[in-house]
Structure 1
Amino acid sequence: MKNGIDATGDVHLGVPTPADGGRSSVQVTVHNTADSAKSFAVQVNFRDGDGNLLDATVVTVGDVGSGKDGTATARSNRKLSGTIRAEVGRAVRY
């Protein structure tokens, strides 16, 4: 992202839940600390109970107003089973 700023600290993830077809989904919430509307790109990593990377996906949250929150849902690209946890891999505000 051109002129992107690291926004990892402004992103919070919910608890992964089962979604369609055995995939997992998690709610992504971003908080815009900038003084104007910004968009976010967030990489979400899905890991098993041992910490092994199972899948990763990127979601965008567009036009979040200054001081406001925005949400999106990240879905795994594959079927995941067992204990699944989600973590922010990277986040960019632009």
Structure 2
Amino acid sequence: MPFRSSLCFQPDYLPGIALFEKRTSEYIQKEHSPQQFNQLIAFVCLGAGLISFLLGWTVIGYLFTLMVGIASLTAIAGFFICCFILYQWE
């Protein structure tokens, strides 16, 4: 199914549910606006990188895509650059 992530019930994750301490409905949901801000920045940077590559500006294209890659690696490490920018801006 191409839109499998939009399903409410995903049987692939049933073995992992046993590892949760509480029922999944009891967990507090994260705020949605930082996630949308992160997606917007990534979308703009990747779009600018794609346009740069299409125009033949390879150095600028690599810089934009590298920014998204570095932001992804720091997010894996636990520091969210886009959230830092958002909370400094507010």
TM-score (norm 2): 0.21
Question: Between Structure 1 and Structure 2, which shows a larger proportion of strand residues?
Answer: 1
- The structure whose RCO (Cα within 8 Å, separation 6+) is larger is 1
Q: Which of the two has higher C-alpha Rg? A: 2
TM-score (norm 1): 0.20
Question: Between Structure 1 and Structure 2, which shows a larger proportion of helix residues?
Answer: 2
